[in-house]
Structure 1
Amino acid sequence: MKKYLMLAAAAGLLATSITTADAEPGGCLKYGAAGAVGGHVANHHGVLGAMGGCVTGMYVRHRYRKEARAKAALYDKEHPGAKGSYEEKATAYDVEHSTTPGQMTNPGASSAAPGTSPAPAAQPQQ
C-alpha cells in the first residue's frame, strides 16, 4: 500500500513540476536564497542577505518586464492589430530584430543613437 501511495505522490510531483519554461529572471525567492547564503557566509547575516537579495530580485524582474512592455509597444507599431500578450510580442520582436532579452538593440548593429540614421558613406570623387 505504501508503495502505491509513494508512486502516486511521485507522479503528482512530476506532473506539477512539468510546466512551460518562463523566460523571466528570478524574483524574490531565487535572489533571496542566494542573498541568504551570501549573508550567512559573510559573518552570519543570512536574514539581511535574504532581504537584500529579495529587493534585488524584485528590481531585476521589474526592469525585465518594463523592457518587455517597451518591445511589445514597438512590435505593435510595426504590426498593428497583432494579438497576444506583451511577453509573446516581446519574444516576436526579439526574433524579428535579432535582439536578446535584456537588450533593446542588436549588439552587432551600428552605434548610431536610437532614432537617427547612421552617417552615409563617403562618395568617391569622379
Structure 2
Amino acid sequence: MPWSAQQPPPGEPPSGPPDPAPGGAKPAGGADMVGVWPSAVWIVVGTLFYLENPQSFAGWKGALYYVVGTAAVALVIGLVSLNLRRAVAGMLAEVFPRRDRFTDLVSLMLRLMLATAEGMLVALLARWTLGALG
C-alpha cells in the first residue's frame, strides 16, 4: 500500500490545520506584519518636510532621518502597534464571544481609532525629530 493511502493509527489526532484562535487572532507561532503604517507616515511627513525645506536634508541629516529613523519607527512603534492590535482582538473575543456584524463594526472602529492615534503620534515624533535635526 502506498504511503499516502495508509490510514493514521486510531489513537492519533488528525494532522489538519490548528483551530483558529478566538477573535480571529493568529496562533502564537503565526507570522504577522509589523511596522508598515507607522513607517509610511514617517516617510510621508519627511517627504513633505523635504519639499518645503530641501536644504535641511543635505548629507547626513536625510540619511539619518530616512534610513535610521524609518527602521527605528518600524521596529519600535510597529511592535507596539502589533501588540495593541492583538490586545484589541483578545478584548473583542472576550467581550463578544460570537462573531457577527456588530462585532466586526466595533473591531473596525477600534482599529481605525488606533491607526489614527498611531499616525498622529508618529507624525508628531517625525516633526520633533526634523526640528531636532535642524
Identify the TM-score tier after normalising by the shorter chain.
Answer: 0.3 to 0.5
- The alignment's TM-score, normalised by the length of structure 2, stands at 0.37
- The alignment's TM-score, normalised by the length of structure 1, stands at 0.39
Q: Does 1 or 2 have the higher relative contact order (CA < 8 Å, sep 6+)?
A: 2
Higher normalized helix content (fraction of residues): 2
